[in-house]
Structures are given as structure tokens and as C-alpha cells.
């Protein structure tokens, strides 16, 4: 029995970039399949409230993801979620994706939108209070902590720059860093060091998160003395790195030193017919809106690529 299904485009990943690509491709009447290994929506569904999406005043990440999903399906996009991808073949005109249940899907083009994840501390209570006092995005959640005292974890450029940006909202910020020095540019260190709202707890780390419904405090351990103290706080922002979900793509696509997919301005990769968008690509800013923009560009580029492919085939095989 033939278990192979052919599409014009396969989108791998159903976060905001993948769903947007699915909307644009399907609306262009291209046969499109979105394959997603988890819940549709990606990291977006973990956001309790999105207040900076243009044209939408207040909406949860789950609600926005559900609207995008329904929109893509209304235009005819086929979406398969909670599946496991066993193998991906990107070379040649016909790309191939095989699932662990032996179903195989082929397409003339592929858009990779596998997203990524913020590096976590992995300490007790962290999963429980994600979106309930713990955040990994200052731009997304900063205004929810207006007038409150918060903690920022990290010592790189992101941690210090985001700490300074959070001073627009928070009344006091305590930066907790495991070393006695920062791994950031000098200008970022100076700006944070001289800000009256920012304090520092060096050579220390958070070992636990506490609260009832929402985060109320953390345990901070001094790495020199071993002493642990309880620190009351309204929120914790963690900036200790970002991990793109590209482990399965190593050796298949050109990645940079951080594992991010290298793309051109039209979101094309080093392989013809393969594009990438969203948080898995090499870029500085990661927001729902930037992922949507990436997905739009990738879908339009795919439409153009498929049109040119059909033109080439027609020229090679004239009627």
C-alpha cells in the first residue's frame, strides 16, 4: 500500500512562523502540510497573556495559536500535530519526511520552523511558575511587573541589556549571577552598574522557586560560602541562553556556531527549495511578531520558487 502523500510544501513546526506560512501558502492554493511534534502554537502557548501583538489588545498565547490554526485550516492547510519525525531528506527536487509510524510525506519545498527554547535553570518550582512570575522575555512580560521588585538571572549581554530595559517597569531589579564578573560588552556592564534601580548578587545562583498560585520568592545560594537565603520577589526573568530546536538538522543544513539555521533575506537556506523561519534561524530578536514576519517572507519565497520550478519544467517539456 502506498503511504506516501505529496504536497507542494511541507512546513515543519507549528509555532507562529509555521502557522503563518501555512496560512499564506494555503491561501495561495498550494497544497500544504504542517507537521508538528508537539502542541500547535510552539512557545507561544506558554505565554499567559500577549499584550503587544498589533491589533489585538489582550489575548493568551493559546488563544492566538488556536485562531492561527483555524485560519490555516480554513484555507485548506493540512495540520498533523503530536507526531514524531523519524527522518528528513532535503536534497533533490522532491523532499521527504518520514514519521515513526512509517508514514511518508513528500514535497517540492520545505519550510523549517522548529523554533527554540530558552535555557532554563532546571531548579525546583521553575516549571510550576513559568508564566506565573517566571519569564524568559522582557519585551513580552515587562509591563506586567510595573512597580514591582524583580530578579534577573544571567551575566551576558542579554541579561544586562534586558535588566536595563526592565527598569522602565520595575521599582527594583536584583541581578543574580554565578560568577564574580560579567560576560558582556563593557558598555552593557557600565550601563547596568550605574543604574540606580539595579543591584547585584554575584557568585550566586537560584536553587528553588516558591509561591502558592504565583511566584513569591526564591532561594539564592552563595557559591563561595554555600549559604542559602530566601529572597522575596514578585518575578524572575531568566536570560542564560537560547537553544534552537535544530538538533535533528545537524549535517542536513548550514547552521552557525549556536546551532541556528543560516538564511538569506528571503529565508532560503543553503539547500535549494528549503527555507527556514522563526526562532530557529540566526537572528537577534525573537518575538511572535518577528516569527510571523519570517513565516510570511518564507511562504512568499516558496510560492515564487514553486512558480519558477514549474516554469523550468514546462520549458524542458513543452507540450
Same domain assignment for residues 125 and 111: no
pLDDT at 46: 72
CATH number of the domain within which 164 lies? 3.50.50.60
Same domain, 11 and 110: yes
- The number of distinct structural domains making up the chain is 2
Query: Are residues 215 and 146 located together in one domain of the fold?
Result: yes
Distance CA 69, CA 292 (A): 13
User: What pLDDT, on the 0 to 100 scale, is given for residue 202?
Assistant: 97
Residues 113 and 182 in one domain: no
Name residue, grid cell 485562531.
Answer: 67
pTM: 0.80
- Kindly give the parts of the chain with pLDDT less than 70: 1-4, 48, 318-319
- With beta carbons less than 8 A apart as the criterion, state whether 44 and 288 touch: yes
Judge if 193 and 278 occupy the same domain.
no
Q: Residue 298 has what DSSP assignment?
A: H
Q: Do 105 and 254 belong to one domain?
A: yes
* pLDDT for 319: 58
- State whether 166 and 300 are in the same domain: no
Q: Look at residues 210, 238, 266 and tell me which one is the last residue of a structural domain.
A: 238
pLDDT confidence of residue 246: 96
Residues 47 and 144 reside in one and the same domain: no
CA distance linking residue 273 with residue 286, whole number of Å: 24
pLDDT of residue 118: 87
Q: Are residues 146 and 212 in the same domain?
A: yes
Last residue of a domain, one of 208, 238, 268: 238
- Are 208 and 124 in contact by the 8 Å Cβ rule? The answer is yes
* 77 annotated active-site: no
Catalytic position from the list 8, 141, 234, 279: 141
DSSP output for 5-55: EEEEEEEE--SHHHHHHHHHHHHTT--EEEE-SSSTTGGGGG-S-B--STT
Is residue 137 part of the annotated active site? The answer reads yes
- Give the structural domain span for 159: 120-238
The pLDDT score that the predictor gives to residue 4 is 60
Q: Which of 8, 140, 279, 294 is catalytic?
A: 140
Same domain, 215 and 177: yes
Both 174 and 113 in one domain: the answer is no
Amino acid at each position: 500500500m502506498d503511504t506516501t502523500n505529496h504536497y507542494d510544501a511541507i512546513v515543519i513546526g507549528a509555532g507562529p512562523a509555521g502557522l503563518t506560512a501555512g496560512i499564506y501558502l494555503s491561501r495561495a492554493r498550494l497544497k500544504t502540510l504542517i507537521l508538528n511534534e508537539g502542541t500547535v502554537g510552539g512557545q507561544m502557548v506558554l505565554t499567559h497573556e500577549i499584550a503587544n501583538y498589533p491589533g489585538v489588545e489582550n489575548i493568551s498565547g493559546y488563544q492566538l495559536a488556536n485562531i492561527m490554526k483555524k485560519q490555516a485550516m480554513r484555507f485548506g492547510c493540512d495540520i498533523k500535530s503530536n507526531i514524531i519525525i523519524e527522518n528528513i531528506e532535503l536534497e533533490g527536487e522532491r523532499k521527504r519526511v518520514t514519521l515513526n509510524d512509517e508514514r511518508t510525506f513528500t514535497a517540492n519545498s520545505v519550510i523549517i520552523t522548529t523554533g527554540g527554547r530558552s535555557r532554563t535553570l532546571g531548579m525546583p518550582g521553575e516549571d510550576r511558575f513559568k508564566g506565573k512570575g517566571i519569564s524568559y522575555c522582557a519585551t513580552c512580560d515587562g509591563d506586567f511587573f510595573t512597580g514591582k521588585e524583580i530578579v534577573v538571572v544571567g551575566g551576558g549581554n542579554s541579561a544586562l541589556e534586558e535588566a536595563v530595559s526592565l527598569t522602565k517597569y520595575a521599582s527594583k531589579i536584583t541581578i543574580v549571577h554565578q560568577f564574580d564578573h560579567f560576560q558582556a560588552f563593557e558598555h552593557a556592564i557600565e550601563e547596568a552598574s550605574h543604574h540606580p534601580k539595579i543591584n547585584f548578587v554575584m557568585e550566586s545562583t537560584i536553587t528553588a522557586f516558591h509561591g502558592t498560585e504565583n511566584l513569591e520568592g526564591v532561594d539564592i545560594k552563595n557559591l563561595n560560602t554555600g549559604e542559602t537565603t530566601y529572597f522575596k520577589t514578585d518575578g524572575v526573568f531568566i536570560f542564560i541562553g537560547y537553544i534552537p530546536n535544530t538538533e535533528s538538522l545537524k549535517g542536513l543544513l548550514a547552521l552557525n556556531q549556536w546551532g541556528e539555521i543560516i538564511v538569506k533575506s528571503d529565508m532560503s537556506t543553503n539547500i535549494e527549495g528549503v527555507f527556514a523561519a522563526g526562532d530557529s534561524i540566526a537572528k537577534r530578536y525573537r518575538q511572535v511578531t518577528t516569527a510571523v514576519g519570517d513565516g510570511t517572507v518564507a511562504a512568499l519565497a516558496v510560492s515564487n520558487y514553486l512558480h519558477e520550478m514549474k516554469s523550468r519544467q514546462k520549458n524542458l517539456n513543452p507540450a
